[in-house]
Chains A and B, each alone.
Chain A
């Protein structure tokens, strides 16, 4: 079954007027963004443009100073302390994997199912096996993170997020810490998720991947979104000199 994209027309993730400062430096200057269910959105821009901060604010890892975050009906503003409901709807995968080193791959996936979702033993086990199988690591259930390659660790991290059945998955430069030959296996998993209709928001430097897989590119510059649209359009006809320069820079690499 192929997913019907943008079926509802109602945004799953809605950011309005997001502001964030680190000390005197304002890194997000009132960002508005909406992502519909099933959409795959890549955020691009130079380092320091605020894209990672914006992504991390969507599940409350960065506390925002102003604006409202809305994910599937859960509203979060700067005064909100309890982020549990929001975080159950938003999965996150990190550049450094951040697997729990004292637990096996299976235990990594099962932990939150057990303590957060309070599922029973059989259900967590089944869900973890399914999630690991989905990322192609069904046989690595009992392996510790230190016994896995970087690519495998990152796939376990993806499985760990997916097992919580999030509405949207955030990926923060998830291939940047990998050796070049391991990038493809991780991107392959992301591509499969996109095809299955998972809502994804990625911060990435993999421009070819962004172009092929994403429905929309969001170009950030100086704490604002200054251009967004279908990848082909942005790449071929950048409207702003900043984006044109950025594209020139990454393509020259």
Chain B
């Protein structure tokens, strides 16, 4: 019978962890860009834009990530768009991340005092100019810690993509377990890998929070 050493198991998990990291990065960066656009729509002076953004956010916050991935993975081919597990995972996580980041950032924008809007409006600045020069620079300060904190959720969210067949570290763990029959060891290692990815992010979120509070 074939024997697996600890190193065999670990090295294969680490190779799969690359895809976890890459998927997290893609979801976070593209979700951040989409989230910014969503935020601008959410706080814009135009009611239809506000409503559409709110609806998008409510839908993605009010349904499980798993279901969102299923819909992207199974529904897109029905309307003629071929999707690989990769694309479905990236698109699904991007939309999920965008919705949450937009809502986190909206809180930060609304924490900027109303007088800042009034003063910049009185200087004849447009909505875009107000956001760019007055509101966002102030919102950014308070947004950094919760944003970094949310990146932990994104990393952990990638685990769900294993269900649609995307081979990241959790899926790799399942496959290795099927070969080695050592679930406790394998999933223990998977857990440690997630912890090693997420803990530094949590720590830096806390550090940033402390730093920005002092600077205030």
Q: Which residues of A contact B (CB under 8 A)?
A: 59-61, 83-84, 87-88, 90-92, 94, 96, 98-102, 111-112, 115-116, 157, 160-161, 164
Closest 7 CB pairs of A and B: A98-B119, A112-B123, A98-B115, A87-B124, A92-B122, A88-B124, A116-B124
Q: Is A61's CB under 8 angstroms from B124's CB?
A: no
Identify which of B115, B134, B138 contacts A96 (C-beta below 8 A).
Answer: B115
Alpha-carbon distance A88/B124, docked complex (angstroms):
6
Pairs across A and B, CB under 8 Å, 17 listed: A59-B122, A61-B121, A84-B126, A87-B121, A87-B123, A88-B124, A92-B119, A94-B115, A94-B119, A98-B115, A98-B116, A99-B119, A100-B119, A100-B134, A111-B133, A115-B129, A161-B122
**Cα(A111)–Cα(B125), bound, Å:** 10
The smallest beta-carbon distance between A83 and chain B, in angstroms, is: 8
Residue numbers in A under 8 Å from B124 (CB-CB): 83-84, 87-88, 112, 116, 164
Whether B122 lies near A91 (C-beta < 8 A) is yes
Residues of B within 8 A of A160 (CB): 123
Chain B residues near A164 (CB-CB < 8 A): 123-124
Say yes or no for B183: interface residue by CB 8 A criterion.
Answer: no
Please report which residues of chain B, range 101-149, place their CB below 8 angstroms from some CB of chain A when the two chains form the complex: 113, 115-116, 118-126, 129, 133-134, 137-138, 141
For B115, the chain A residues whose CB sits under 8 A away are 94, 96, 98
Residues of chain B within 8 A (CB-CB) of A157 are 119
Partner of B125, one of A59, A96, A116: A116
User: How many residues from B make CB contacts under 8 Å with A?
Assistant: 18
Distance A61 CA – B141 CA, assembled complex (angstroms):
27
Alpha-carbon separation in the docked complex, A30 to B36 (Å): 42
B141 cross-chain contacts in A, Cβ below 8 A: 102
Cβ-defined contact, A101 with B122, below 8 A: no
Extra contacts besides A61-B118, A90-B122, A98-B113 (13): CB < 8 Å: A59-B122, A60-B121, A83-B124, A84-B124, A84-B126, A87-B121, A87-B122, A92-B122, A94-B118, A100-B116, A116-B124, A116-B125, A164-B123
Residue among A96, A101, A161, A164 having the largest count of chain B Cβ atoms under 10 Å: A101
Distance between B22 CB and nearest chain A CB, rounded to angstroms: 35
Complex contacts, B133 vs chain A, CB 8 Å: 111, 115
User: Nearest CB to that of A59 among chain B residues?
Assistant: B122
Query: Complex: how many Å from CA A142 to CA B115?
Result: 22
Q: Indicate the member of A61, A88, A157 with the most B CB atoms within 10 Å.
A: A61
Closest to A111 in B: B133
Complexed CA–CA distance, A161 and B113 (Å):
19
Nearest-Cβ distance from residue B127 to partner chain A, whole angstroms? 11
A241, B91: Cα distance in complex, Å: 71
Residue of B nearest to A81 (CB): B45
B21-60 near A? 1/0 per residue, CB < 8 Å: 0000000000000000000000000000000000000000
Q: A101 vs B134: C-alpha distance in the bound complex, in angstroms?
A: 9
Minimum CB distance partner of B45 in chain A: A81
Which chain B residue shows the least CB distance to A61? Answer: B118
Query: Which chain B positions have C-beta within 8 A of A99?
Result: 119
Chain A residues whose C-beta falls within 8 Å of the C-beta of B116 in the assembled complex: 98, 100
- Interchain nearest-CB distance for B117 vs A (Å): 9
